[in-house]
A and B are shown apart, each in its own frame.
Chain A
Amino acid sequence: MELLIVLLIIVVVAVVGVGLFIVKQGNSNFKFIVDQRTDFTLTGITKAEAAFSATVPFINNGTQDGTLMDVFPRHFLPSEQFDAVDTDSRLTLDRANRNDGYWEAYIVPTTTGGSIILTVKFTAKSGDIKAALKDMVDMPIDIIYQVVDRGPWYLAKERLVMTTDEIHKALAANEEVAAR
């Protein structure tokens, strides 16, 4: 009987010990810091198309490394709300600088981070992008990301809003430069 009690105590201590170890070890914790993003600036323009980019920082402030398996943008511009442009959005890790829209799985060590470059391209259905964007509306964009770490993989998202104001400012700044 005493032996059983001793064994039981050992098992309980071991289970509690492992549990405490796992809790102390923790996990990764990702955050795309959308409120620290830069304004969108114009990165390319033709008669029919305009591309705007912004930089969005992210951080892993957890206690373990984690992998950003996939990160992609999802813009929300339904035709019921605004029907003058076709919209394409994509992003890349700033240091990877890819232009194919592919996110290469990326390990983010604990307490470090990085930045993504989010690019939105508008194509005017009328063929005149400046005219088309005159009545543009604020457009929400979700940054959706998949994480693999010590726990089960998961998807999460953070929302930012690309405002009409910054689109118009970016176009105006471009016109000023062109006028000089």
Chain B
Amino acid sequence: MTEQALELKPVPTRILTDKDNIVDVIEKYAKEDIGPNDVVSVAESVVAITQGRFVRPEDLHPSLLARLLCRFIAKEGSLASAYGMQTAMNAEGSWRITWALFVGMLGKLVGRNGLFYELAGGQTSLIDDVTGTMPPFDKCLVYGPADPNGVAETIKQRLGCYGAVVADVNDLKRAAVLGATQGLVPKEIAQILINNPFGNASQKTPIVIIKNYGLAVQKATAQ
């Protein structure tokens, strides 16, 4: 099943904040468009923001360790600032991050890249540094969402749809499903979302409905 075979319907919303409940928002903006065979996907950073999982650099006090270790992250990385590194340490623990970075550096010496993010815990690769999210959260570091599977199940129960996912998608053709309702295949949904139908921040479409996904599954099964 590919994106070409399915209709993807982005749903515009206003800017969401920690005052919002993501399931209420989906109900408010998309209920009329969601059918029993549809899969609702929602952007992970927006779920995290509605969960209040963001912090201003001014509210962080980076440890000496964070200030030291951030120096060993490539300058493009979200953990390259002391604040990004401290955020990762707050989420996954200082010693885990330190150990992962040490092993990651050893791994690089023998040509094994990516070990740091494999060992440092799931939140580490989900942290968005400042500038990583739409205004007014461009001045905040945003963690990954909490309990994405639970969020997806709640969406499905409330909206009566075929399924729901919380997805991390960007314009660099990278897509990952962080949480999904039972029965969905995360890799398959990620492939459907690979062209980033959520668009950029200014398009304000954090919800994408994958129309008639359930019918497509039935058809594929029958064949």
Give A residues with C-beta under 8 Å from B.
18, 21-22, 25, 64-65, 67, 69-70, 102, 104-107, 110, 148-153
7 nearest A-B pairs in the assembled complex, by CB-CB distance: A105-B138, A105-B131, A65-B75, A105-B130, A153-B57, A105-B139, A104-B135
Is B68 among interface residues, defined by CB-CB distance under 8 A? yes
Is B82 among interface residues, defined by CB-CB distance under 8 A? yes
Interface residues of B in 15-42 (CB under 8 A from A): none
List B contacts of A67 (CB < 8 A).
81, 129-131
Chain B residue nearest to A22 in the complex (CB):
B71
B139 close to A150 (CB less than 8 A): no
A151 close to B139 (CB less than 8 A): no
Give B residues with C-beta under 8 Å from A.
57-58, 62, 67-68, 70-71, 75-76, 80-83, 129-131, 135-136, 138-139
B71 close to A150 (CB less than 8 A): yes
Chain A residue nearest to B68 in the complex (CB):
A18
Sample of 11 further A-B pairs with CB below 8 A, known A25-B71, A150-B81, A152-B67: A18-B68, A65-B80, A67-B129, A67-B130, A67-B131, A69-B139, A70-B139, A104-B135, A149-B81, A150-B82, A153-B83
The complex places the Cα of A107 from the Cα of B57 at a distance, in Å, of: 15
- In angstroms, how far is the closest chain A Cβ from the Cβ of B53? 18
List A contacts of B58 (CB < 8 A).
153
A104-B81 in contact given A150-B70, A153-B57 (Cβ < 8 Å):
no
List B contacts of A104 (CB < 8 A).
131, 135, 138
A69 close to B57 (CB less than 8 A): yes
The complex places the Cα of A21 from the Cα of B76 at a distance, in Å, of: 18
- In angstroms, how far is the closest chain B Cβ from the Cβ of A103? 9
List B contacts of A65 (CB < 8 A).
75-76, 80
A152 close to B62 (CB less than 8 A): yes
A151-B130 in contact given A70-B139, A104-B138, A105-B138 (Cβ < 8 Å):
no
List A contacts of B57 (CB < 8 A).
69, 148, 153
- In angstroms, how far is the closest chain A Cβ from the Cβ of B170? 15
List A contacts of B80 (CB < 8 A).
65, 150
The complex places the Cα of A150 from the Cα of B83 at a distance, in Å, of: 8
- In angstroms, how far is the closest chain A Cβ from the Cβ of B164? 31
Chain A residue nearest to B201 in the complex (CB):
A104
List B contacts of A110 (CB < 8 A).
75
- In angstroms, how far is the closest chain B Cβ from the Cβ of A145? 13
The complex places the Cα of A102 from the Cα of B167 at a distance, in Å, of: 29
The complex places the Cα of A106 from the Cα of B131 at a distance, in Å, of: 6
A64-B131 in contact given A18-B68, A70-B139, A150-B80 (Cβ < 8 Å):
no
